[in-house]
A = this chain, B = another copy of it.
Amino acid sequence: MSCLRYPISGTKLRMSERFTAIYHVHSDAASIEARARGIAVEQSVEMPVEGIEDVGVLEGIVGRVEGIAGIGPGVFEVRVGLAVATVLGADGRADAGQLFNMLFGNTSIQEGVSLVDVELPAHVVDGFGGPNWGIAGWRARVGAERRALTNGALKPQGLAPEGLAAIAGRMARGGIDLIKDDHGLADQAYSPFAARVAAVAAELGRVAGETGKRTLYVPSLAGTLDDMRGQVRMALGVGVEAFLIAPVIAGMNTFVALVREFPQAGFMTHPTLSGIARIAPPLFYGKLFRMMGADAVVYPNHGGRFGYSPATCAALAGAARGAWGHVKPCLPVPAGGMTLERVGEMLDFYGPDTIVLIGGALLAARERLTEEVAAFVDVVARHRFQ
């Protein structure tokens, strides 16, 4: 089998273009070179290189170890160059699922390795399109020019649409900017998506008519791509413009398809089922979800019910909203057991380009819900950044 007999399609230039995946690997120094080569092969051709006869594949496709650096006792940073052509679809744009597949597919099942970063050519990044709204889109819709945004969660699971709408109305009367569904709210018989969205949208419209303050509802999408398309269309029809989606459950390409099909909509991602530590959170939620279209990314803040460190959270927020070519910035949404008492500290940590999400702690106020929300809104509005 010669190179000529099985030619590679596409130009030589395209075939030789690489992106870089960066891994942290636990290994002893004697084994790290072989381990790094193993990852480079696993994430590209996944077969013994000596079995490959095609020169084009050997030169253009087989992963290359670009660097190995010790970063701690028994831990190495390994840089692997992978062929851009392996993640491009026939239309020349990168496929989101295939990008994750080539970055970390089989290697995710191996011990002692995590994916910490990826460096992509600008045309791959721009091919995804990034967020529809960006930070400016959220700010314009809730009338907040500079301050942080306030966000409550609609719960508990199990309430009927009218019950959820009543809670949403009481939160809106406190002046909150956003109300997102609990990510467990799907299309259950006790609270079908369409009935819930219609009831909540009507209630929020009523409150806005009285108070003059618009509260955005962010319902949670569920089911297949078809189901979600139907849900988005229904919601847009009653004036709901932003949506919560869990890319790990929906599938990366389902998420990207919705973002691109509904350019007028905003998308907030939820990390449910994403596991920990195997893909670095700043890369996963901050960089990749943003690139694929997240206008806002929910993640577990440090000091709550989850184990992220302050450094991880700061890096994640930086990746979500930092300058990045043509890609609009995305709002970080630190969450997971946040309380009113922590708002000041969170604002000083994250700054104003942040959505502060307090879920259950607001609802625990029960009959004082509106007052508790008003206090939350007031703390955010009056905060002076250090």
Q: Does B158 lie within 8 Å of A56, measured CB to CB?
A: yes
CA A186 to CA B364, docked complex, whole Å? 48
Query: Given A46-B155, A54-B158, A108-B275, are A190 and B100 also a contact pair (CB < 8 Å)?
Result: no
- Within the complex, what minimum Cβ distance (angstroms) separates A198 from chain B? 14
| Of A20-28, A143-151, A245-253, the one with at least 4 CB within 8 A of chain B | A245-253
- Within the complex, what minimum Cβ distance (angstroms) separates A263 from chain B? 17
- A102's contact among B10, B184, B359, by CB below 8 Å, is which? B184
Q: Does A305 lie within 8 Å of B38, measured CB to CB?
A: yes
Q: Which residue of chain B is the closest to A43 with respect to CB atoms?
A: B184
CA A195 to CA B48, docked complex, whole Å? 26
Query: Given A225-B225, A250-B253, are A47 and B155 also a contact pair (CB < 8 Å)?
Result: yes
Query: Does A278 interact with chain B (Cβ within 8 Å)?
Result: yes
Q: Does B364 lie within 8 Å of A249, measured CB to CB?
A: no
CB-CB under 8 A from A52, the residues of chain B are 156, 363
| Of A131-139, A159-167, A200-208, A288-296, the one with at least 4 CB within 8 A of chain B | A159-167
Q: Which residue of chain B is the closest to A226 with respect to CB atoms?
A: B225
Q: Does A45 lie within 8 Å of B85, measured CB to CB?
A: no
Query: Does A382 interact with chain B (Cβ within 8 Å)?
Result: no
CA A89 to CA B101, docked complex, whole Å? 30
CB-CB under 8 A from A320, the residues of chain B are none
Query: Does A51 interact with chain B (Cβ within 8 Å)?
Result: yes
CA A246 to CA B101, docked complex, whole Å? 9
CA A223 to CA B255, docked complex, whole Å? 11
CA A227 to CA B97, docked complex, whole Å? 12
Query: Given A111-B276, A158-B8, A271-B109, are A254 and B252 also a contact pair (CB < 8 Å)?
Result: no
Q: Does A9 lie within 8 Å of B45, measured CB to CB?
A: no
Query: Does A211 interact with chain B (Cβ within 8 Å)?
Result: no
- A225's contact among B14, B42, B188, B224, by CB below 8 Å, is which? B224
Q: Does B254 lie within 8 Å of A225, measured CB to CB?
A: yes
CA A159 to CA B223, docked complex, whole Å? 36
Interface flags, A176-220, vs B, CB<8A=1, else 0: 000000111011111110000000000000000000000000000
Q: Does A224 lie within 8 Å of B250, measured CB to CB?
A: no
CB-CB under 8 A from A189, the residues of chain B are 9-10, 14, 85, 88-90, 92
CA A53 to CA B306, docked complex, whole Å? 26
Query: Does A1 interact with chain B (Cβ within 8 Å)?
Result: yes
CA A104 to CA B275, docked complex, whole Å? 9
- A106's contact among B53, B98, B272, by CB below 8 Å, is which? B272
Instruction: For chain A, residues 2 to 45, give those with C-beta under 8 angstroms from any C-beta of chain B.
Output: 5-10, 14-15, 38, 42, 44-45
Query: Does A60 interact with chain B (Cβ within 8 Å)?
Result: yes
CA A251 to CA B272, docked complex, whole Å? 13
- A273's contact among B15, B60, B108, by CB below 8 Å, is which? B108
Q: Does A223 lie within 8 Å of B45, measured CB to CB?
A: no
* Pairs A-B, 9 closest by C-beta atoms: A251-B251, A6-B163, A47-B360, A61-B158, A51-B364, A105-B272, A45-B156, A57-B158, A9-B190
A: which residues have CB within 8 A of B?
1, 5-10, 14-15, 38, 42, 44-48, 50-54, 56-57, 60-62, 83, 85-86, 88-90, 92, 95, 97-98, 100-102, 104-106, 108-111, 153, 155-160, 162-163, 166, 182-184, 186-192, 222-227, 246, 248-254, 256-257, 271-276, 278, 300, 305-307, 336, 359-361, 363-366
- Can you report 19 residue pairs joining A to B where beta carbons are below 8 Å apart? A8-B159, A9-B160, A10-B189, A10-B190, A45-B156, A48-B363, A51-B363, A51-B366, A54-B156, A86-B158, A89-B186, A101-B184, A101-B246, A106-B183, A109-B275, A109-B276, A110-B307, A225-B225, A249-B251
